[in-house]
Amino acid sequence: MKKEAIKTVQAFAIELVIYALLVIAYFFLVLHLLGQWLYQIEVHHRYLYAGLAILLIVGQAVLLESLTTFLIRLIRGRSE
């Protein structure tokens, strides 16, 4: 049981690091590519901005979770 718990904690730590790096990269990508456009929408169309922000948050969650899951499966497949 103890060996299984150590493997679980290690997998969680790896997933956490990968996810953190992906979130940081996503943040800077959106900031660079959409920053000025989102700012203009926020200034002029507040409700549209709120909807777009929610869509970006949901899109980020879905994209990063599926990418993290794929990478974890890839890592586990090679290590086991």
Q: What is the mean pLDDT of each run of 10 residues along the chain (80 residues)?
A: 80 83 88 90 93 91 84 69
Q: 56: Cβ–Cβ under 8 A, 6 or more apart, which residues?
A: 30
Cα–Cα distances (Å) from 74 to 15, 28, 51, in that order, read 12, 25, 34
What's residue 5's pLDDT?
81
- Contact by Cβ (8 Å): 60, 15: no
